[in-house]
Amino acid sequence: MTLTAKSVARVSLVSTLVLAAAGAALLSASPASGAASTLGAAAQQSGRYFGTAVAANKLSDSTYTGILNREFDMVTAENEMKMDATEPNQGQFSYGNADRIVNQARNQGKRVRGHALAWHSQQPGWMQNMSGTALRNAMLNHVTQVASYYRGKIYAWDVVNEAFADGSSGGRRDSNLQRTGNDWIEAAFRAARAADPGAKLCYNDYNTDNWSHAKTQGVYRMVQDFKSRGVPIDCVGFQAHFNSGNPVPSNYHTTLQNFAALGVDVQITELDIEGSGSTQAQQYQGVTQACLAVARCTGITVWGIRDTDSWRASGTPLLFDGNGNKKAAYTSVLNVLNNGTGTTPPTTTTTTSNPGGGGCTATYSEGEKWNDRFNGLVTVSGTDNWIVTVTVSSPQRIIATWNTSASWESANVMTARPNGSGNTFGFTIMHGGNWNWPSVSCRVA
């Protein structure tokens, strides 16, 4: 997304991942002795990257390039690799500004994400006036020519950008590219693979952060279909444009994990969060933790360097202020990256209680969060006659339960049994600054 595409902040997310108590601790902390002192180096400790979007016309700004060179290890061209920039006239390709960004990044030892090969927006005028077979062929030629030109220089391509509609349909966006046939996305991915076989191929979109949203489900079904049929897709990009009224959803980790379970990498590709101070920092913290909790979340890219460089400058959404100073959000992100673990992922344990089988499975999922506590839910499958053990870590303590008969083996270990309310039960944990998820295990009674 860019200035032209982002005329409104189209983020329709619900709930929150505000981690206030933990956030306050992180904001006041300095990096531990021996910890990495930059975002890129800190992310590399867990095998991830931390990148930013770059504009060619700002590379002469010494403050801008100083932060870029110091902090980030992945670069995305903000506008310079899009269709209108790279093929302003049909068959006439222009790479000057894109090359400036790519060469600057590679000379500094950074990798590059290519953004974007095919998109309904920011098309050159000649393409906007095309349709049908002529448009399809022109799109495929564009993908082939641009990906071939940068072959071997790009870590991952956003092959197709924003092809799904907002709202409740979960279907494709109506666009000139969509009207060439529903297989246009698949065709673009196959062309990209042929042109640049060493690059990861990604689908990228916004408003796909909340697992319950129809748009998220629509993209999920497409990726699932592509993987089942061998269409070459390696990753899914989540743009992650948030604001204080529409924060990070509580099921954000679930979204990332479910896509990763399809066999693709997940990447946070255009992160910015409007706001300031501790509230903004806590939201950034939550996103970073969610990525670290998913093994196939390979990196995070923020959409700009300083607040004044942002398409949402009035919302001060980035990690550095207009003077290039580190904000509270920077510190919260750096500390989470240095911690290296983030939120503990859900634990699912299956235990068989007799030689003939009859095991059960307990699956944990997160619920609502508040400053001092959070809810957890456990769903049991395989039997109606179960015993689930829930273990929390100090200083956490369980203060309430529902839909179960509970007893305590110790202050940190609860035993839950059915009480006639079904096979899903819940509890509330006072976290004491420890937001890690409990572990759960199940056995047949």
The residues annotated with a catalytic role in the active site are 270
Residue 103's CB is within 10 A of a number of other CB atoms, namely 12
Contact (Cβ atoms closer than 8 angstroms) between residue 165 and residue 109:
no
- Distance between CA atoms of residues 128 and 124, nearest Å: 6
Burial of 42 (0-12, 13-18, 19+ CB in 10 A): buried
**Strand pairing class (373-381; 360-369):** antiparallel
SS3 letters for 232-301? Answer: CCCEEEECCEEECCECCCCCHHHHHHHHHCCCCEEEEEEEEECCCHHHHHHHHHHHHHHHHCCCCEEEEE
- Distance between CA atoms of residues 216 and 436, nearest Å: 26
In Å, what is the CA distance from 9 to each residue of 26, 66, 82, 239, 309? Answer: 28, 29, 21, 12, 17
What token pair was written down for 362?
């307990």
In Å, what is the CA distance from 213 to each residue of 100, 209, 383? Answer: 39, 8, 31
- What is the b/e burial string over 4-25, where b = at least 16 CB atoms within 10 angstroms of the residue's CB? ebbeebebebebbbbbbbbbbe
- Distance between CA atoms of residues 183 and 185, nearest Å: 6
- Distance between CA atoms of residues 377 and 364, nearest Å: 6
- Distance between CA atoms of residues 237 and 267, nearest Å: 5
Which residues, 6 or more positions from 396, have their beta carbon under 8 angstroms from its beta carbon?
A: 412, 429, 430, 431, 432, 434, 436, 438
**Strand pairing class (241-242; 265-273):** parallel
DSSP 8-class letter at 438: P
- Distance between CA atoms of residues 204 and 271, nearest Å: 12
DSSP 8-class letter at 12: -
What token pair was written down for 286?
């939550």
